[in-house]
Structure 1
Amino acid sequence: MMINLFSSFDPSTSFNLSLNWMSMMIGLLFIPPMFWLIPSRMNFLWIKISFILHSEFKILMGKNSKGTTLIFISLFSLIMFNNLLGLFPYIFTSTSHLVLTLTLALPLWLSFMIYGWLNNTLHMLAHLVPQGTPGILMPFMVCIETISNIIRPGTLAIRLTANMIAGHLLMTLLGNTGPNLTFIMINLLIIIQLMLLMLESAVAIIQSYVFAILSTLYSSEVN
Protein backbone atom coordinates (compact mmCIF):
# COMPACT_ATOMS: atom_id res chain seq x y z
CA MET A 1 0.00 0.00 0.00
CA MET A 2 1.43 3.35 -1.06
CA ILE A 3 1.59 6.05 1.59
CA ASN A 4 1.28 8.77 -1.06
CA LEU A 5 1.28 9.10 -4.82
CA PHE A 6 4.99 9.92 -5.09
CA SER A 7 6.16 6.99 -2.94
CA SER A 8 6.85 4.98 -6.12
CA PHE A 9 9.67 7.44 -6.82
CA ASP A 10 11.19 7.04 -3.36
CA PRO A 11 14.76 5.69 -3.71
CA SER A 12 14.63 3.92 -0.31
CA THR A 13 13.61 0.28 -0.02
CA SER A 14 11.84 -1.78 2.66
CA PHE A 15 15.29 -2.64 4.05
CA ASN A 16 16.12 1.06 4.52
CA LEU A 17 18.86 0.74 1.88
CA SER A 18 19.19 2.77 -1.31
CA LEU A 19 19.65 -0.34 -3.44
CA ASN A 20 17.23 1.03 -6.04
CA TRP A 21 20.07 3.09 -7.51
CA MET A 22 21.64 -0.22 -8.55
CA SER A 23 19.06 -0.20 -11.36
CA MET A 24 21.47 2.02 -13.29
CA MET A 25 23.85 -0.97 -13.55
CA ILE A 26 21.21 -3.36 -14.96
CA GLY A 27 21.69 -1.87 -18.44
CA LEU A 28 25.24 -3.21 -18.50
CA LEU A 29 23.87 -6.76 -18.31
CA PHE A 30 22.09 -6.31 -21.66
CA ILE A 31 25.15 -5.03 -23.53
CA PRO A 32 27.66 -7.96 -23.41
CA PRO A 33 25.56 -10.59 -25.29
CA MET A 34 25.76 -8.56 -28.53
CA PHE A 35 29.55 -9.05 -28.55
CA TRP A 36 29.32 -12.85 -28.23
CA LEU A 37 27.29 -13.31 -31.40
CA ILE A 38 28.76 -10.99 -34.01
CA PRO A 39 27.22 -9.93 -36.30
CA SER A 40 23.94 -10.24 -34.41
CA ARG A 41 20.77 -8.30 -35.21
CA MET A 42 21.08 -6.38 -31.96
CA ASN A 43 24.65 -5.45 -32.86
CA PHE A 44 23.62 -4.32 -36.36
CA LEU A 45 20.78 -2.23 -34.90
CA TRP A 46 22.98 -0.55 -32.31
CA ILE A 47 25.75 0.20 -34.86
CA LYS A 48 23.13 1.71 -37.20
CA ILE A 49 21.74 3.91 -34.40
CA SER A 50 25.26 5.00 -33.44
CA PHE A 51 26.11 5.96 -37.03
CA ILE A 52 22.88 7.95 -37.43
CA LEU A 53 23.50 9.81 -34.16
CA HIS A 54 27.16 10.39 -35.11
CA SER A 55 26.19 11.96 -38.45
CA GLU A 56 23.56 14.21 -36.83
CA PHE A 57 25.83 15.34 -33.98
CA LYS A 58 28.69 15.94 -36.44
CA ILE A 59 26.51 18.31 -38.49
CA LEU A 60 25.50 20.24 -35.37
CA MET A 61 29.04 20.50 -34.01
CA GLY A 62 30.68 21.42 -37.32
CA LYS A 63 34.31 20.67 -38.13
CA ASN A 64 35.45 20.64 -34.51
CA SER A 65 33.77 17.36 -33.55
CA LYS A 66 36.92 15.11 -33.69
CA GLY A 67 35.36 12.20 -31.81
CA THR A 68 33.41 14.38 -29.36
CA THR A 69 30.21 12.87 -30.74
CA LEU A 70 31.05 9.64 -28.89
CA ILE A 71 30.47 11.47 -25.57
CA PHE A 72 26.94 12.47 -26.61
CA ILE A 73 26.17 9.02 -28.07
CA SER A 74 27.20 7.51 -24.71
CA LEU A 75 25.02 10.09 -22.91
CA PHE A 76 22.07 9.20 -25.15
CA SER A 77 22.64 5.47 -24.49
CA LEU A 78 22.83 5.89 -20.70
CA ILE A 79 19.64 7.96 -20.46
CA MET A 80 17.71 5.74 -22.89
CA PHE A 81 18.69 2.55 -21.02
CA ASN A 82 17.57 4.00 -17.69
CA ASN A 83 14.34 5.42 -19.15
CA LEU A 84 13.36 2.11 -20.75
CA LEU A 85 14.37 0.02 -17.73
CA GLY A 86 12.12 2.19 -15.56
CA LEU A 87 9.11 0.89 -17.54
CA PHE A 88 9.68 -2.66 -16.25
CA PRO A 89 7.89 -3.70 -13.05
CA TYR A 90 9.83 -3.33 -9.77
CA ILE A 91 12.75 -1.51 -11.42
CA PHE A 92 13.50 1.95 -10.04
CA THR A 93 13.39 4.82 -12.58
CA SER A 94 16.59 6.68 -11.73
CA THR A 95 16.00 9.37 -14.39
CA SER A 96 12.87 10.53 -12.52
CA HIS A 97 15.15 12.10 -9.89
CA LEU A 98 16.82 15.49 -10.22
CA VAL A 99 19.85 14.03 -8.43
CA LEU A 100 20.75 12.00 -11.53
CA THR A 101 19.62 14.41 -14.26
CA LEU A 102 21.39 17.39 -12.68
CA THR A 103 24.51 15.23 -12.24
CA LEU A 104 24.49 14.70 -16.00
CA ALA A 105 23.51 18.23 -17.08
CA LEU A 106 25.45 20.48 -14.69
CA PRO A 107 29.03 19.19 -15.27
CA LEU A 108 28.46 19.21 -19.06
CA TRP A 109 27.19 22.80 -19.08
CA LEU A 110 29.89 23.95 -16.64
CA SER A 111 32.67 22.42 -18.74
CA PHE A 112 31.30 24.12 -21.87
CA MET A 113 31.12 27.48 -20.12
CA ILE A 114 34.63 27.25 -18.63
CA TYR A 115 36.10 26.17 -21.97
CA GLY A 116 34.21 28.87 -23.92
CA TRP A 117 35.02 31.79 -21.60
CA LEU A 118 38.69 30.84 -21.29
CA ASN A 119 39.42 30.11 -24.96
CA ASN A 120 36.76 32.01 -26.96
CA THR A 121 35.93 35.00 -24.76
CA LEU A 122 35.00 37.38 -27.60
CA HIS A 123 32.85 34.69 -29.22
CA MET A 124 31.00 34.12 -25.94
CA LEU A 125 30.47 37.86 -25.44
CA ALA A 126 29.10 38.16 -28.98
CA HIS A 127 26.50 35.48 -28.12
CA LEU A 128 25.03 37.75 -25.43
CA VAL A 129 23.80 40.24 -28.04
CA PRO A 130 21.93 38.70 -31.01
CA GLN A 131 22.69 40.14 -34.43
CA GLY A 132 20.51 43.09 -35.44
CA THR A 133 19.55 44.08 -31.87
CA PRO A 134 18.80 47.86 -31.54
CA GLY A 135 21.28 49.75 -29.33
CA ILE A 136 18.64 50.72 -26.76
CA LEU A 137 17.70 47.06 -26.18
CA MET A 138 21.26 45.74 -25.85
CA PRO A 139 21.46 45.95 -22.00
CA PHE A 140 18.15 44.08 -21.68
CA MET A 141 19.22 41.44 -24.22
CA VAL A 142 22.46 40.84 -22.31
CA CYS A 143 20.45 40.22 -19.11
CA ILE A 144 17.96 37.93 -20.88
CA GLU A 145 20.68 35.93 -22.66
CA THR A 146 22.70 35.61 -19.44
CA ILE A 147 19.69 34.30 -17.51
CA SER A 148 18.73 31.89 -20.31
CA ASN A 149 22.31 30.63 -20.37
CA ILE A 150 22.45 30.09 -16.60
CA ILE A 151 19.17 28.13 -16.41
CA ARG A 152 20.14 25.72 -19.21
CA PRO A 153 21.30 22.85 -16.96
CA GLY A 154 18.15 23.26 -14.86
CA THR A 155 15.86 23.12 -17.90
CA LEU A 156 17.70 20.07 -19.24
CA ALA A 157 17.38 18.23 -15.93
CA ILE A 158 13.78 19.27 -15.15
CA ARG A 159 12.55 18.44 -18.68
CA LEU A 160 13.80 14.85 -18.43
CA THR A 161 12.63 14.38 -14.82
CA ALA A 162 9.17 15.88 -15.41
CA ASN A 163 8.51 13.75 -18.49
CA MET A 164 9.52 10.57 -16.67
CA ILE A 165 7.42 11.40 -13.60
CA ALA A 166 4.33 12.48 -15.56
CA GLY A 167 3.91 9.25 -17.51
CA HIS A 168 4.65 7.01 -14.54
CA LEU A 169 2.20 8.89 -12.33
CA LEU A 170 -0.56 8.62 -14.92
CA MET A 171 -0.01 4.87 -15.26
CA THR A 172 0.07 4.48 -11.45
CA LEU A 173 -3.16 6.47 -11.02
CA LEU A 174 -4.99 4.41 -13.65
CA GLY A 175 -3.57 1.15 -12.29
CA ASN A 176 -4.79 1.88 -8.76
CA THR A 177 -8.39 2.21 -9.99
CA GLY A 178 -8.37 -1.39 -11.30
CA PRO A 179 -9.74 -3.21 -8.19
CA ASN A 180 -12.83 -0.96 -8.11
CA LEU A 181 -13.85 -1.43 -11.76
CA THR A 182 -16.20 -3.87 -13.48
CA PHE A 183 -14.97 -6.61 -15.84
CA ILE A 184 -15.66 -4.57 -19.00
CA MET A 185 -13.98 -1.47 -17.59
CA ILE A 186 -10.92 -3.51 -16.54
CA ASN A 187 -10.52 -4.70 -20.15
CA LEU A 188 -10.74 -1.09 -21.31
CA LEU A 189 -8.23 -0.07 -18.64
CA ILE A 190 -5.75 -2.74 -19.81
CA ILE A 191 -5.99 -1.44 -23.41
CA ILE A 192 -5.44 2.14 -22.20
CA GLN A 193 -2.49 1.04 -20.07
CA LEU A 194 -0.92 -0.76 -23.03
CA MET A 195 -1.32 2.35 -25.18
CA LEU A 196 0.21 4.45 -22.39
CA LEU A 197 3.10 1.99 -22.15
CA MET A 198 3.77 2.41 -25.88
CA LEU A 199 3.61 6.18 -25.47
CA GLU A 200 6.01 6.05 -22.52
CA SER A 201 8.43 3.90 -24.52
CA ALA A 202 8.44 6.54 -27.26
CA VAL A 203 8.85 9.34 -24.67
CA ALA A 204 11.79 7.47 -23.08
CA ILE A 205 13.66 7.40 -26.41
CA ILE A 206 12.64 10.92 -27.47
CA GLN A 207 13.66 12.51 -24.16
CA SER A 208 17.10 10.88 -24.24
CA TYR A 209 17.51 12.13 -27.83
CA VAL A 210 16.40 15.65 -26.85
CA PHE A 211 18.85 15.70 -23.91
CA ALA A 212 21.75 14.63 -26.14
CA ILE A 213 20.83 17.01 -28.98
CA LEU A 214 20.50 20.04 -26.69
CA SER A 215 23.82 19.20 -25.02
CA THR A 216 25.39 19.04 -28.50
CA LEU A 217 23.90 22.43 -29.42
CA TYR A 218 25.22 23.99 -26.22
CA SER A 219 28.71 22.62 -26.93
CA SER A 220 28.63 23.93 -30.52
CA GLU A 221 28.00 27.46 -29.26
CA VAL A 222 31.31 27.67 -27.42
CA ASN A 223 33.46 26.80 -30.48
Structure 2
Amino acid sequence: MMTNLFSTFDPTTMFNTSMNWLSTIMIFMFLPSMYWLIPSRLNMIWIKIILTLHKEFKILISSSIKGNTLIMISLFSFILLNNFMGMFPYIFTSTSHMTFTLSLALPLWLSFMIYGLMNNMTHMLAHLVPQGTPPILMPFMVCIETISNIIRPGTLAIRLSANMIAGHLLMTLLGNTGPYLSILMMNLLIISQILLLILELAVSIIQSYVFTVLSTLYSSEVN
Protein backbone atom coordinates (compact mmCIF):
# COMPACT_ATOMS: atom_id res chain seq x y z
CA MET A 1 0.00 0.00 0.00
CA MET A 2 1.26 3.47 -0.86
CA THR A 3 2.02 5.55 2.23
CA ASN A 4 2.80 8.88 0.55
CA LEU A 5 2.78 10.62 -2.81
CA PHE A 6 6.32 9.55 -3.69
CA SER A 7 5.56 5.83 -3.19
CA THR A 8 4.70 5.72 -6.89
CA PHE A 9 8.41 6.06 -7.59
CA ASP A 10 9.52 3.52 -4.96
CA PRO A 11 10.87 0.31 -6.54
CA THR A 12 10.14 -1.67 -3.35
CA THR A 13 6.47 -0.70 -3.08
CA MET A 14 5.24 -4.15 -4.03
CA PHE A 15 5.91 -6.96 -1.52
CA ASN A 16 9.13 -5.23 -0.35
CA THR A 17 11.00 -6.48 -3.42
CA SER A 18 12.49 -4.85 -6.49
CA MET A 19 10.15 -6.62 -8.91
CA ASN A 20 9.06 -3.23 -10.24
CA TRP A 21 12.33 -3.00 -12.15
CA LEU A 22 10.94 -5.69 -14.48
CA SER A 23 9.10 -2.84 -16.22
CA THR A 24 12.33 -2.13 -18.09
CA ILE A 25 11.97 -5.41 -20.03
CA MET A 26 8.17 -5.45 -20.24
CA ILE A 27 8.43 -3.40 -23.43
CA PHE A 28 9.21 -6.58 -25.36
CA MET A 29 5.81 -8.01 -24.40
CA PHE A 30 4.16 -5.34 -26.55
CA LEU A 31 6.17 -6.25 -29.64
CA PRO A 32 4.59 -9.28 -31.36
CA SER A 33 6.93 -11.88 -32.79
CA MET A 34 5.66 -11.27 -36.32
CA TYR A 35 6.96 -7.69 -36.04
CA TRP A 36 10.47 -9.01 -36.55
CA LEU A 37 9.57 -11.28 -39.50
CA ILE A 38 7.01 -9.60 -41.74
CA PRO A 39 7.25 -5.90 -42.68
CA SER A 40 4.29 -4.01 -41.23
CA ARG A 41 3.27 -0.40 -40.84
CA LEU A 42 4.73 -0.33 -37.34
CA ASN A 43 7.96 -1.78 -38.65
CA MET A 44 8.17 0.75 -41.49
CA ILE A 45 7.49 3.67 -39.14
CA TRP A 46 10.20 2.52 -36.74
CA ILE A 47 12.72 2.04 -39.59
CA LYS A 48 11.91 5.56 -40.80
CA ILE A 49 12.57 6.94 -37.30
CA ILE A 50 15.86 5.03 -37.07
CA LEU A 51 17.06 6.32 -40.46
CA THR A 52 16.18 9.89 -39.48
CA LEU A 53 18.09 9.54 -36.21
CA HIS A 54 21.04 7.99 -38.06
CA LYS A 55 21.31 11.02 -40.35
CA GLU A 56 21.00 13.38 -37.36
CA PHE A 57 23.65 11.66 -35.24
CA LYS A 58 26.01 11.16 -38.16
CA ILE A 59 26.26 14.94 -38.51
CA LEU A 60 26.94 15.40 -34.79
CA ILE A 61 29.53 12.64 -34.56
CA SER A 62 32.67 13.68 -36.40
CA SER A 63 34.10 10.15 -36.53
CA SER A 64 33.85 8.26 -39.82
CA ILE A 65 33.64 4.78 -38.26
CA LYS A 66 30.74 2.79 -39.67
CA GLY A 67 28.01 1.94 -37.20
CA ASN A 68 29.04 4.62 -34.73
CA THR A 69 25.45 5.84 -34.48
CA LEU A 70 24.09 2.43 -33.50
CA ILE A 71 24.74 2.83 -29.78
CA MET A 72 23.08 6.26 -29.73
CA ILE A 73 20.00 5.00 -31.61
CA SER A 74 19.77 2.05 -29.22
CA LEU A 75 20.07 4.41 -26.25
CA PHE A 76 17.31 6.62 -27.64
CA SER A 77 15.03 3.63 -28.24
CA PHE A 78 15.66 2.20 -24.76
CA ILE A 79 14.92 5.46 -22.94
CA LEU A 80 11.91 6.26 -25.14
CA LEU A 81 10.25 2.87 -24.61
CA ASN A 82 10.85 3.01 -20.86
CA ASN A 83 9.36 6.51 -20.74
CA PHE A 84 6.30 5.23 -22.58
CA MET A 85 5.98 2.27 -20.22
CA GLY A 86 5.81 4.69 -17.30
CA MET A 87 2.70 6.29 -18.85
CA PHE A 88 0.62 3.17 -18.26
CA PRO A 89 -1.31 2.99 -14.95
CA TYR A 90 0.26 0.96 -12.13
CA ILE A 91 3.51 0.43 -14.06
CA PHE A 92 6.72 1.53 -12.38
CA THR A 93 8.47 4.48 -14.08
CA SER A 94 12.09 3.34 -14.15
CA THR A 95 13.41 6.48 -15.85
CA SER A 96 12.33 8.60 -12.87
CA HIS A 97 15.11 7.07 -10.74
CA MET A 98 18.66 8.36 -10.48
CA THR A 99 19.79 4.74 -10.20
CA PHE A 100 18.56 4.08 -13.72
CA THR A 101 19.59 7.36 -15.35
CA LEU A 102 23.05 7.45 -13.75
CA SER A 103 23.61 3.86 -14.91
CA LEU A 104 23.16 5.16 -18.45
CA ALA A 105 24.97 8.51 -18.22
CA LEU A 106 28.00 7.63 -16.05
CA PRO A 107 29.41 4.71 -18.12
CA LEU A 108 29.00 6.73 -21.32
CA TRP A 109 30.79 9.76 -19.89
CA LEU A 110 33.57 7.64 -18.36
CA SER A 111 34.17 5.80 -21.62
CA PHE A 112 34.36 9.09 -23.53
CA MET A 113 36.80 10.59 -21.03
CA ILE A 114 39.04 7.51 -20.89
CA TYR A 115 39.10 7.21 -24.67
CA GLY A 116 39.89 10.91 -25.11
CA LEU A 117 42.66 10.96 -22.50
CA MET A 118 44.29 7.83 -23.89
CA ASN A 119 44.16 8.81 -27.56
CA ASN A 120 44.02 12.59 -27.74
CA MET A 121 45.05 14.13 -24.44
CA THR A 122 46.32 17.39 -25.98
CA HIS A 123 42.97 18.02 -27.63
CA MET A 124 41.12 17.22 -24.40
CA LEU A 125 43.27 19.61 -22.36
CA ALA A 126 42.90 22.34 -25.00
CA HIS A 127 39.13 22.27 -24.38
CA LEU A 128 39.72 23.49 -20.83
CA VAL A 129 40.81 26.93 -22.08
CA PRO A 130 38.43 28.54 -24.62
CA GLN A 131 40.06 30.37 -27.50
CA GLY A 132 40.71 34.05 -26.80
CA THR A 133 40.78 33.74 -23.00
CA PRO A 134 43.03 36.38 -21.33
CA PRO A 135 46.09 34.82 -19.62
CA ILE A 136 45.04 36.12 -16.19
CA LEU A 137 41.72 34.27 -16.42
CA MET A 138 43.13 30.95 -17.67
CA PRO A 139 43.46 29.30 -14.20
CA PHE A 140 39.85 30.18 -13.38
CA MET A 141 38.62 28.94 -16.78
CA VAL A 142 40.43 25.63 -16.27
CA CYS A 143 38.66 25.16 -12.92
CA ILE A 144 35.27 26.12 -14.34
CA GLU A 145 35.60 23.90 -17.42
CA THR A 146 36.85 20.98 -15.31
CA ILE A 147 33.88 21.24 -12.94
CA SER A 148 31.41 21.58 -15.82
CA ASN A 149 32.95 18.48 -17.43
CA ILE A 150 32.75 16.45 -14.21
CA ILE A 151 29.08 17.24 -13.53
CA ARG A 152 27.94 16.28 -17.04
CA PRO A 153 26.72 12.77 -16.15
CA GLY A 154 24.89 14.20 -13.15
CA THR A 155 23.13 16.84 -15.24
CA LEU A 156 22.11 14.23 -17.81
CA ALA A 157 20.69 11.93 -15.13
CA ILE A 158 18.92 14.67 -13.16
CA ARG A 159 17.40 16.24 -16.28
CA LEU A 160 15.77 12.97 -17.35
CA SER A 161 14.58 11.82 -13.93
CA ALA A 162 13.31 15.27 -12.82
CA ASN A 163 11.25 15.77 -15.96
CA MET A 164 9.66 12.33 -15.66
CA ILE A 165 8.88 12.82 -11.96
CA ALA A 166 7.42 16.32 -12.40
CA GLY A 167 4.74 15.34 -14.91
CA HIS A 168 3.71 12.20 -13.05
CA LEU A 169 3.46 14.07 -9.74
CA LEU A 170 1.31 16.80 -11.29
CA MET A 171 -1.08 14.23 -12.78
CA THR A 172 -1.23 12.38 -9.44
CA LEU A 173 -1.96 15.57 -7.49
CA LEU A 174 -4.76 16.55 -9.87
CA GLY A 175 -6.17 13.02 -9.87
CA ASN A 176 -6.36 12.90 -6.07
CA THR A 177 -8.69 15.91 -6.03
CA GLY A 178 -11.25 14.14 -8.24
CA PRO A 179 -13.53 12.66 -5.51
CA TYR A 180 -14.04 16.09 -3.93
CA LEU A 181 -15.10 17.97 -7.09
CA SER A 182 -18.48 18.67 -8.62
CA ILE A 183 -19.60 17.26 -11.98
CA LEU A 184 -18.59 20.41 -13.87
CA MET A 185 -15.18 20.57 -12.24
CA MET A 186 -14.76 16.84 -12.80
CA ASN A 187 -15.20 17.33 -16.54
CA LEU A 188 -12.61 20.09 -16.52
CA LEU A 189 -10.28 17.85 -14.53
CA ILE A 190 -10.63 15.03 -17.06
CA ILE A 191 -9.90 17.40 -19.95
CA SER A 192 -6.84 18.79 -18.15
CA GLN A 193 -5.62 15.26 -17.37
CA ILE A 194 -5.92 14.30 -21.03
CA LEU A 195 -3.96 17.40 -22.05
CA LEU A 196 -1.32 16.61 -19.41
CA LEU A 197 -1.09 13.05 -20.70
CA ILE A 198 -0.43 14.33 -24.22
CA LEU A 199 2.17 16.72 -22.82
CA GLU A 200 3.83 13.86 -20.94
CA LEU A 201 4.01 11.79 -24.12
CA ALA A 202 5.75 14.71 -25.82
CA VAL A 203 8.10 15.13 -22.85
CA SER A 204 8.95 11.42 -23.01
CA ILE A 205 10.06 11.80 -26.63
CA ILE A 206 11.86 15.10 -26.09
CA GLN A 207 13.80 13.96 -23.02
CA SER A 208 14.99 10.75 -24.66
CA TYR A 209 16.12 12.79 -27.67
CA VAL A 210 17.85 15.43 -25.51
CA PHE A 211 19.67 12.76 -23.46
CA THR A 212 20.93 11.07 -26.61
CA VAL A 213 21.90 14.26 -28.46
CA LEU A 214 23.87 15.59 -25.48
CA SER A 215 25.65 12.24 -25.14
CA THR A 216 26.49 12.43 -28.85
CA LEU A 217 27.84 15.96 -28.50
CA TYR A 218 29.99 14.90 -25.55
CA SER A 219 31.40 12.03 -27.60
CA SER A 220 32.24 14.34 -30.51
CA GLU A 221 34.47 16.45 -28.24
CA VAL A 222 36.95 13.63 -27.64
CA ASN A 223 37.73 13.02 -31.32
TM range (shorter): over 0.9
Give the secondary-structure state (helix, strand or coil) at the position aligned to 1:131: coil
Report what 2:183 is aligned to: 183
Alignment pair present for 1:27 and 2:27: yes
Counterpart residue number, 1:169: 169
Letter in 2 for 1:34: Y
Counterparts of 2:123 and 2:66 in 1: how far apart (Å)? 20
Letter in 2 for 1:57: F
Matched, 1:45 2:83: no
**Structure 1 residue 14 displacement after superposition:** 3.3
1:128 matched to which residue of 2?
A: 128
Deviation at 1:136, TM superposition (A): 1.0
Q: Higher mean Cα deviation, 80-89 or 25-34? A: 25-34
Aligned-partner Cα distance in 2 for 1:18–1:104: 19
Instruction: Provide the aligned C-alpha RMSD in A.
Output: 1.1
Q: Is the CA contact 1:82–1:95 (under 8 Å) kept in the aligned structure 2?
A: yes
* Secondary structure, counterpart of 1:62 in structure 2: coil
- TM-score (norm. length: structure 1): 0.97
Take 1:66 and 1:30, find their aligned partners in 2: how far apart are those partners? Answer: 31
Percent of aligned pairs sharing the same letter: 72
Deviation at 1:134, TM superposition (A): 1.1
- Structure 1 stretches lacking a partner, 5+ long: none
Asked if the contact 2:63–2:220 (Cα under 8 Å) also holds between the matched residues in 1, the reply is no
How many pairs align?
222
Is the 1:58–1:65 Cα contact (8 Å) retained in structure 2? Answer: no
Which digits, 9 at most, give the CA deviation of each residue in 1:88-126, with x for residues without a partner?
011100000000000000000000000000110000011
TM-score, normalization by structure 2:
0.97
Partners of 1:13 and 1:19 within 8 A in 2: no
Q: CA offset at residue 65 of structure 1? A: 4.2
The SS at the match of 2:179 is helix
Displacement over 6 Å in runs of 4+? none
Quote the residue 1:75 is aligned against. 75
